[in-house]
Amino acid sequence: MALLKYMDKTNILYLESLFGIFLVVFLAFFLFIVKTKNKLANWLLAFFLFTNAVDALKFLIHDFPVNYMNLEAFRWSFNYLVPAAFYLYVLSVCYSNFRLKPKHLWHTIPFVAFNLYMAYGIYFEDRASKIYFINTLSESHIMQFFHILFEVLFQVYFIASFLVIRKSKTVYLENYTNPNISILNALYKITILYYVLHFIVLIRWLVTFTFGSGELRQWIVTLDAFAFLFCTCWYLFVALNKPEFFRGVSSQLKPITESVPKQKMFTEIDEEKNMQIESLKNFMVKNEPYLDSSLTIQDLAEQVNMPVKDLSTLINLYMNKHFFDFINQYRIEKAKDILKDSSKKELTILEVLYEVGFNSKSSFSTSFKKYTGQTPTEFRKSSY
């Protein structure tokens, strides 16, 4: 009975793994062939999914494939591409001018180094030598080094991914209006989820080391495989459902706190700065540049005849607002005037948001409620 119970669980894991690998490979193939402006990002995500699918093949292997030792050893090496592939994908999403360059080949050094080690012990050896090498791997200091190297790479790449996402979000808010950054928020969440999933892998290693390959390990492996599949499908659904959510920023742009000398960040607002602030506010009211849904800080700087860096410093530091918030406050005030105007009550909420410079109903509703405490519909009803 216990044997049948174990076989049932093994079959469940096998079927789950088979379905998961098929689905991930299918998604990777789809990302590779789909026609889109974000080809590089899709290709990098496809490669990341493919490397994970290759790693997941271990769930389908009950015993070591003695007849395919070279292929199995090569499969191990794919682990050293997974964190780098995800990091490059993050760069391609966050930075619109990101391109793969020869310098990015440095990320493949651990992969190449591991394969050189496998070439020494497996690839070009006879069958008996391969088996002996594999049986003594657990005692190999070099193999222990590669295990530690993988863990270090994972931590470094994923922490770097967090920092890139945070920086690009800050830059976006400081330079653009109407930034519907849902895909960036989703990317941040999926990075956290993959990071958490990695700790499930660490728990699996600890359980295997402590208790061996028993029933508890089987359940952890099942949870790990299911969680990865679920998280990946959720993220792809978000990313593919509205691929225009996030357009990326230039990697040459830096947060204002990095581009302005620190001593200036704590300077009190003097008379000159007050005059510049009042002049800017008057320009916004008189000329209504915020009605342009694609307005950027570069566009506004040209209109007010001020260097972009100075304008960014004025808004982000001296007025203590993101460019995004600065512009949207004028859009909301304009929208409030329209919603209170009984002569324009026939206008739909969608028509109002387009008229005041928004291009997304979700971002308009979020911003409107942030400034007024009500939804646009509630505000209109309370105004009559």
Q: What is the full per-residue pLDDT of the chain (384 aa) written as tens digits?
A: 444 444 455 666 667 667 777 877 888 888 788 777 778 888 898 898 888 888 878 777 766 777 888 998 999 999 999 999 999 999 988 887 889 999 999 999 999 999 999 999 899 988 889 989 988 887 889 998 998 898 899 889 999 999 998 888 887 777 777 655 667 777 888 888 888 877 777 776 666 666 655 566 666 666 666 677 777 777 767 666 655 444 555 555 556 555 555 444 445 566 778 888 889 899 998 999 988 888 888 888 899 898 888 888 888 888 888 888 888 899 999 999 888 888 888 888 888 888 888 887 877 888 888 888 888 888 888 876
SS3 per-residue string spanning 123-146: HCCCHHHHHHHHHCHHHCHHHHHH
Q: What is the pTM of this model?
A: 0.74
pLDDT at 80: 94
pLDDT at 210: 65
Burial (CB < 10 A; 0-12, 13-18, 19+), residue 54, is buried
Distance of CA 272 to the CA centre of its chain: 41
Q: Look up the CATH number of domain 256-383.
A: 1.10.10.60
**The two structure tokens encoding residue 202:** 């660490």
d(CA 16, CA 59): 9
d(CA 156, CA 83): 9
Place of tokens 């530091």: 317
- Bridge partners of 249, per DSSP, are 95
pLDDT at 262: 46
pLDDT at 91: 92
Distance of CA 75 to the CA centre of its chain: 26
d(CA 316, CA 297): 11
DSSP, collapsed to helix, strand or coil, labels residue 248 as: coil
d(CA 185, CA 192): 11
d(CA 128, CA 132): 6
pLDDT at 322: 82
CB 122 within 8 A of CB 130: yes
d(CA 33, CA 297): 36
Intervals of CATH 1.10.10.60 along the chain: 256-383
d(CA 142, CA 140): 5
**The two structure tokens encoding residue 121:** 């012990």
209 CB-side CA count, 13 A: 7
Nearest-5° angle of CA 362, CA 368, CA 371? 140
CB 371 within 8 A of CB 329: yes
SS3 of the chain: helix, strand, coil, percent, to 5? 80, 0, 20
pLDDT at 182: 67
Q: Look up the CATH number of domain 2-241.
A: 1.20.1070
